[in-house]
Copies of this chain bind each other. A is one copy, B any other.
Amino acid sequence: MPLEFPFDYSRRNWAPSDYGNVEVCASMAKEAVAAKHVEARHKWVYRFEDGDATMRDLLGGKGANCAEMMRAGLPVPPGFVVTTEACNAFYEADEQFPTGMWEQALDALKELEGKTGKRLGDLANPLLVSVRSGAKFSMPGMMDTILNLGLNDETIEGVIAQTQNERFAWDSYRRFVQMYGNVVLEVDKDQFEHALEAIKAEAGIEEDVDLTVAHLQEAVRRFKGIVESETSRDFPTDPLDQLRGAIEAVFASWNNRRAIDYRNFHKIPHSLGTAVNVQAMVFGNMGSDSGTGVAFTRNPSTGEPELFGEFLEDAQGEDVVAGVRTPLPIAKLREVWPDIYTEFAEIAQRLETHYREMQDMEFTIEKGTLYMLQTRTGKRTASAAVRIAVDMFNEGLITKEEAISRVEPEQIDQLLHPRIDPEAEVSVIAKGLNASPGAAVGMAFFDPDEAEAVARQGHNVILVRPETSPDDVHGMIASQGILTARGGATSHAAVVARGLGKPCVAGCDEIRIDMEHERFTAGDVTIEKRDHISLNGSTGEVILGEVPLIQPEITAEMSELLRWADAIRRLEVWANADYPRDAALARSYGAQGIGLCRTEHMFFEEERLPIVQQMILASSSSERQAALDKLLPIQRDDFAGILRAMDGLPVVIRLLDPPLHEFLPDYAELLEEVVTLRATGEDPQRLAERQKLLENVASLREANPMLGLRGCRLGLEYPEIYEMQVRAILEAALTIKKEGGDPHPEIMIPLVSHANELGVLQEDLERVAKKVEEEQGDSVAYKFGTMIEVPRAALTASEIAEHAEFFSFGTNDLTQTTYGYSRDDAEGKFLLNYVENAILPENPFQVLDRDGVGRLVSIAVAEGRKTRSDLEVGICGEHGGDPSSIYFCHGVGLDYVSCSPYRVPVARIAAAQVTLEKQGAADR
């Protein structure tokens, strides 16, 4: 196998956990290097001919691919690679080349001179080389490159003589001094730009192309002067000194600030090091028979199977990148140089077939000769990724399994939300928490009633609130997206928005909301009511004005790919859905069950809230029962709807979980109203009424509601609530059965921390279930189980499994209690700093923490199954939709993951990928 399975770094954020761990990764890299090259420990330099694509660790991506192309007989300018090992040795030796390295480089240089028939520093026939960085993982623009190395006041004459192009020679020299001065000698590049601008101003010209030989000579002179005054040293003229300095500079660039930041952000181990590629220069700017370009083997935007790219005549690569001149589409190449085009198209085809992956290539045409400078796996959009993967399978290039592995799960997610056109220029005015993904555009409104009214008129609105409460839900439903100034990723706004599939930016404390005047400010921008804003719920960005959106699409290719994934994966994928419409959506996305139906969201709906409040504020058991009697038919309809939507599939219904005060008005607002009424003396009747309500709310207030009277504690305190809910579930299921349906309700008790809680509730609720069955003269198969969401439940899973037929890991709460973090208080506050400062490797609410939470999950699965071997085990926390967490869930033996409907396709792909990876690991 000359080709390694392409490992695209951008996939790291969902790749196996080991790869996320810098230490492990470093040691893996080191071991791999050590194992492969133990016989040549002191071989620091490799000719392209000596390498191949498998040697990315040692030669970097660029070097390994040049070597591979050379092996394949493609026209690659000759060169050699100083290894990543040498880079690491350089750092270990306090920034000195390791013994033997420079000598090996000189030997390789000699061979290069032999191959090209040129010599570095030769006056008549000088060799010019490029010196480029090249790490294992692509870090575009992060490290340094020097072109045209070898030029000095003498060798330039040879170049002029060779090329018969004085201007080209001087322009190359000018570029070299500028680049070398900046990169190697660390002179501020603005100084060179200013000097060049001055020359242009003096000469009265505007474009670089109008610079004459004399101007360029003057530029070289002034550039050298700048270097000398800034560094107090002459510009190096000896080409070997230049080379030595350039290699040192590339090594040093591995640890420049932006490279370190980049690696921190992308979690690339700092210990990998960069290789240095020294390669004979070829020139695309040698006249009208020269040129340069970049191309993809397929369209990276749509995935269409066509050569895609652009080229420039008489230009160097950097001209393409710089965008000074407008390049021509690659198709034009066929018209300009049909032979070259044919040759290039063939090479492109060969490379794609060879790598079995879409390629991103750089090429140069020097005086009618095509040279390939680079090839690598091409980046692509989400929709292109899907199309390419499916096409390549259909073309027989890759297997179904490979096709699945080629698509990042997060790309699937992108395709399921409207998103901001990546081409659009946007003005970001603030950033908050990316609480619910997708993009939204609309007019800012601050009052939910008004937002709803305006939306009803057909306008798109965005609801802006300091924070949201159940009173705002109708406004949220009517809005395109929600923006709040306070609250974390489990705040009311965030949870409801995710449930609704609406984009939400939460806890955006950069904005100041003035509710009185209905406006907000972000920096020096003020947004008045009815002003347009856009939200990027995937990034947390608040954007000025209307940005263009791309609507979601489930293409035929995606459907196909998902079907393949279904055939492979072991984990089932269920969805969290509170309403029939969400359940239907989830089912259409392929959900195999509902893993979490939160009954409290049903309670929050506008017309029900008064009844719920009546139940809570009941001063007697009979008054409470009266309210519950009113809720029973409503809940029964809710459950019937969702069971009908999921006919034949399991539906896990969680009994009431949140603390009761969540259903009542906010304490502080109420207090404010009461105090105001008291101070003004107006409306004593309302005062008395609000005062009474305030007392009720106060009596339900808790110091730490997350750890208070909620979940099964509530169920044990007010047994009639759960009894009503279980009755509603059973009655609903029996109704469906009467209709000829096949309901599979599973009754889930939340927040259990001691087996007895479950035991007592089970006894009571089974009694209710039996009673309903007797009343109706029919029975229904239901399960009884529990959430595992506090550490003690996990630690005593063997006892809990005596009562529970299923476990569902509520990893949101489990993460909160395992860490002792309140998500509302942590996210957007200290947790942000923790992740930024690498105190935590990632946000544990997004990526399941293996060492703590994961260990508890493992314990609970193992010990729960010991008690009950057929225990059904799943996860319904938000991690259920996170690919790297799905990886963990597979490994620990869960039966299913449950996630939001929109994440179902993501999870289907991720679950298939982990199955493939584990099989691969087993096969090896």
**Complex: how many Å from CA A757 to CA B705?**
26
Q: Is the CB of A837 closer than 8 A to any CB of chain B?
A: yes
Is A679 in contact with B668, judged by CB distance below 8 angstroms?
no
Q: Is the CB of A621 closer than 8 A to any CB of chain B?
A: no
CB distance from A614 to the nearest CB of B (A): 22
Q: Is the CB of A893 closer than 8 A to any CB of chain B?
A: no
* 764-823 of chain A: CB within 8 A of chain B: 789-792, 795-796, 799, 813, 816-822
CB distance from A21 to the nearest CB of B (A): 12
Is B716 in contact with A833, judged by CB distance below 8 angstroms?
yes
In the complex where A676-B679, A706-B703, A796-B851 touch, is A820 in contact with B790 (Cβ < 8 A)?
Answer: yes
Copies in the complex: 2
**Complex: how many Å from CA A833 to CA B709?**
12
Is B816 in contact with A707, judged by CB distance below 8 angstroms?
yes
* 707-742 of chain A: CB within 8 A of chain B: 707-709, 713, 716-717
Q: Is the CB of A530 closer than 8 A to any CB of chain B?
A: no
Is A704 in contact with B822, judged by CB distance below 8 angstroms?
yes
Q: Report A817-854 CB contacts with B as 1/0, cut-off 8 Å.
A: 11111101110011001100111100000000101110
Residues on B with beta carbons closer than 8 Å to the beta carbon of A679: 675-676, 679-680
Q: Report A850-867 CB contacts with B as 1/0, cut-off 8 Å.
A: 011101100000000000
**Complex: how many Å from CA A708 to CA B706?**
12
**Complex: how many Å from CA A789 to CA B838?**
22
Chain B minimum-CB-distance residue to A790: B820
Q: Is the CB of A754 closer than 8 A to any CB of chain B?
A: yes
Residues on B with beta carbons closer than 8 Å to the beta carbon of A799: 851
Contact of A791 among B791, B813, B837 (CB under 8 A): B791
**Complex: how many Å from CA A743 to CA B869?**
57
Residues on B with beta carbons closer than 8 Å to the beta carbon of A826: 707-708
Contact of A675 among B672, B706, B709, B833 (CB under 8 A): B672
Is B789 in contact with A820, judged by CB distance below 8 angstroms?
yes
Residues on B with beta carbons closer than 8 Å to the beta carbon of A840: 754, 756
Is B708 in contact with A792, judged by CB distance below 8 angstroms?
no
Residues on B with beta carbons closer than 8 Å to the beta carbon of A856: 791, 795
Residues on B with beta carbons closer than 8 Å to the beta carbon of A705: 703-704, 822, 825
Q: Is the CB of A753 closer than 8 A to any CB of chain B?
A: yes
Q: Is the CB of A489 closer than 8 A to any CB of chain B?
A: no
Is A818 in contact with B839, judged by CB distance below 8 angstroms?
no
**Complex: how many Å from CA A799 to CA B840?**
14
Q: Report A643-679 CB contacts with B as 1/0, cut-off 8 Å.
A: 0000000000000000000000001100110011011
Q: Is the CB of A249 closer than 8 A to any CB of chain B?
A: no
Q: Is the CB of A205 closer than 8 A to any CB of chain B?
A: no
* 510-545 of chain A: CB within 8 A of chain B: none
Is A751 in contact with B702, judged by CB distance below 8 angstroms?
no
In the complex where A672-B675, A855-B795 touch, is A822 in contact with B707 (Cβ < 8 A)?
Answer: yes
Residues on B with beta carbons closer than 8 Å to the beta carbon of A753: 818-821, 852
Q: Is the CB of A554 closer than 8 A to any CB of chain B?
A: no
Q: Report A27-66 CB contacts with B as 1/0, cut-off 8 Å.
A: 0000000000000000000000000000000000000000
Is A703 in contact with B792, judged by CB distance below 8 angstroms?
no
In the complex where A672-B675, A830-B717 touch, is A821 in contact with B756 (Cβ < 8 A)?
Answer: no
Q: Is the CB of A760 closer than 8 A to any CB of chain B?
A: yes
Q: Report A674-691 CB contacts with B as 1/0, cut-off 8 Å.
A: 011011100000000000
A interface secondary structure, majority: helix
**Complex: how many Å from CA A821 to CA B813?**
12
Contact of A852 among B678, B791, B830 (CB under 8 A): B791
**Complex: how many Å from CA A702 to CA B618?**
29
Contact of A813 among B667, B702, B703, B820 (CB under 8 A): B820
**Complex: how many Å from CA A821 to CA B817?**
9
In the complex where A837-B760, A840-B756 touch, is A792 in contact with B704 (Cβ < 8 A)?
Answer: no
**Complex: how many Å from CA A799 to CA B849?**
15
Is A825 in contact with B668, judged by CB distance below 8 angstroms?
no
Residues on B with beta carbons closer than 8 Å to the beta carbon of A680: 679
Residues on B with beta carbons closer than 8 Å to the beta carbon of A833: 716-717
Chain B minimum-CB-distance residue to A760: B839
Chain B minimum-CB-distance residue to A816: B707
In the complex where A819-B790, A840-B756 touch, is A825 in contact with B672 (Cβ < 8 A)?
Answer: no
**Complex: how many Å from CA A671 to CA B821?**
27
Chain B minimum-CB-distance residue to A509: B699
Is B825 in contact with A707, judged by CB distance below 8 angstroms?
yes
**Complex: how many Å from CA A324 to CA B159?**
130
CB distance from A77 to the nearest CB of B (A): 46
**Complex: how many Å from CA A757 to CA B675?**
44
**Complex: how many Å from CA A167 to CA B840?**
89
Residues on B with beta carbons closer than 8 Å to the beta carbon of A667: 668
CB distance from A836 to the nearest CB of B (A): 12
Residues on B with beta carbons closer than 8 Å to the beta carbon of A839: 716, 754, 756-757, 760
Is A825 in contact with B795, judged by CB distance below 8 angstroms?
no
**Complex: how many Å from CA A819 to CA B820?**
11
Chain B minimum-CB-distance residue to A798: B851
Residues on B with beta carbons closer than 8 Å to the beta carbon of A676: 675, 678-679
CB distance from A812 to the nearest CB of B (A): 12
Q: Contacts A704-B824, A706-B822 known; list 11 others, CB within 8 Å.
A: A675-B675, A679-B679, A702-B825, A703-B824, A706-B820, A708-B829, A716-B833, A717-B830, A753-B852, A790-B820, A795-B856
List 14 A-B residue pairs with CB atoms under 8 Å apart, sorted by A's residue number. A667-B668, A668-B668, A671-B675, A675-B675, A675-B679, A702-B822, A706-B822, A708-B829, A716-B830, A717-B833, A754-B840, A756-B838, A795-B852, A796-B852
